[in-house]
Chain A
Amino acid sequence: EVHLVETGGGLIQPGGSLRLSCAASGLSISANYMAWVRQVPGKGLEWVSAIFNGANTSYVDSVKGRFTISRDNSKNTLYLQMNSLRAEDTAVYYCAATLRWLNFDNWGQGILVTVSS
């Protein structure tokens, strides 16, 4: 059974940094396309970033230059380093995985990030 468990969320002041982690079991993150998707409470889904085909990465424009996706295959863990956080980054962040190209059949439970002073 696949489990994706996000940690590292919480309350952070504007301009601050957080690193989200997504620990995977039941699948190999090195063999999967991995992504972060976020959702403002009560709103829709927004794709944030993906890592694929080794170390290739992609980001939504609103986080480019501020967020960095990475993975540690030895720990089977995905990361999202979030710098220069803004109030509009407040959301539940989901980790997602797939063996197919970028439609995601495995999701974590989500972790809330709140950016506020």
Chain B
Amino acid sequence: DSGVTQTPKHLITATGQRVTLRCSPRSGDLSVYWYQQSLDQGLQFLIQYYNGEERAKGNILERFSAQQFPDLHSELNLSSLELGDSALYFCASSPRTSGSGELFFGEGSRLTVL
């Protein structure tokens, strides 16, 4: 158990819909990272937050947005969903803002868009 909690574990929805994925980082960790992993693909970095502020942006679509709240939990919002958005979405947390690659990953949220 990494200490990172992601909900929901599974989610099935239809094209055009909007969903919110939630991540609770390990106690005390200020950084949260979001990744997307499509079937048999590598991990695609989406975005990173540190103590409520966006710190790095990867290949995140404009239809996707994220935020980190004062209690440090984070949410990833996916809108106007397309079939290609079906994937595993991982959240990871880290105690540092940068310079440390030791990330602790959650078990992921599996999104299926029909």
Do A and B bind? no
Q: Report which A residues bind B (CB closer than 8 A).
A: none
